[in-house]
Amino acid sequence: MNVQRLSDIQEEDTTDGGESEINDHLDGFGHKTIGPVASLILLFNNLSGPGVVGLPLLFQQAGWMVPSICMILIAVTTWLASSMLCEAMRYYPQNRGYNSRIEFSTLTKYYFGHKFYIFSQLVFIFALQSVNVAGIIETAQVMDLVVLRIFGRTGGLEFYPHFQWTWAYSGSRGASPFSADIYVLSLGFVITLILIIPMGYFNLDDNMIVQKIAFLIALIIFGEWIVLFIIRIYEGKGNTVPPFGTNVSPVFGTIMFNYAMVVTVPSWCNEKTHSTPINLVMGGATVFGTVLFFTVGWVGMCW
């Protein structure tokens, strides 16, 4: 694009600002209320996927070289993909200033036609479900461990190999308090559903209070991990990890799970204020998240 064309578009965006503000009130979705700070919080929360808890083990198994390089490449790719997606939204008809409500399906149908739209929707749904399933399972397991710690046991409806109610006690080990050879609908899973299902009925801007609370909790957890890892290293209980390890197979998948920000970008653009800088906010969230991931991985690999 030449400089003159870019200048024309910027002028059009500026002149459309007042109309965009009016449209915010007329589109049926309420005001655009997510500002720069709230945007950073929202994007960081979606950047922190279920693979975060596996970073220390990943660095231990694969060494520090391959995960570090892979994390940088995926972080840059995530930012570029998100930025290009915003640009595609910006050039959608009558959407300068992001005053319309545009999602993935709308963009793919407009730019690529009906056949690719169907294909992309299937891929998009499967991709979302893979992240959702991993996140729900991890959250349910943690909730079961919380119940177990408070009450000394947690229960679940066992489906296989026997249909019965089963209990798991504090003597259990592993990510789940239940045995690996049984399939259960646990109390932790039910509690998790009760907590998250009502949030699906709210718009993104209505959920920002939950996003802010989740952000604070995430910072506390990251801080606790880093402090504990450093204490272990200071006490001489850590291990030296070489640049290259013995198992690099889980590197790409684990790190990719930590960069799911792009799926939130269209909804965020629809709800952000017009004064929120897109590339600056997305870049800030990506850099902040990557620095935290690096820190957890590097100090945690010496655990």
Residue 268: both structure tokens together = 């965020």
At 237, is the secondary structure helix, strand, or coil?
A: coil
Q: Which residue, 77, 106, 67, 122, is CA-closest to 247?
A: 67
Would you list the DSSP string of 174-219? SSSSS-TT-EEEEHHHHHHHHHHGGGGGS-TGGGHHHHHHHHHHHH
Q: Using the predicted structure, report yes or no on whether residue 5 has a pLDDT greater than 60.
A: no
Q: How confident is the model over 91-137, as pLDDT tens digits?
A: 888 887 777 778 888 888 888 888 888 888 888 888 888 778 877 88
Q: How confident is the model over 199-236, as pLDDT tens digits?
A: 777 777 777 888 899 899 889 988 888 888 888 777 77
CB 55, CB 70: distance < 8 Å: no
CB 215, CB 45: distance < 8 Å: yes
CB 243, CB 65: distance < 8 Å: yes
At 32, is the secondary structure helix, strand, or coil?
A: coil
Residues 49 and 189: their CA atoms lie apart, in Å, by 18
Residue 83 vs residues 12, 77, 86: alpha-carbon distances, Å? 20, 10, 5
At 240, is the secondary structure helix, strand, or coil?
A: coil
Q: What's the predicted TM-score (pTM) here?
A: 0.74
Q: How confident is the model over 231-282, as pLDDT tens digits?
A: 877 777 666 777 787 888 888 888 887 887 888 888 888 888 888 899 999 9
Residue 225: both structure tokens together = 């991990």
What is the residue whose two structure tokens read 């690096």?
294
Residue 263 vs residues 49, 125, 266: alpha-carbon distances, Å? 12, 11, 7
Mean pLDDT of the chain: 80
Q: What is the mean pLDDT of residues 69-87?
A: 91
Residues 236 and 255: their CA atoms lie apart, in Å, by 28
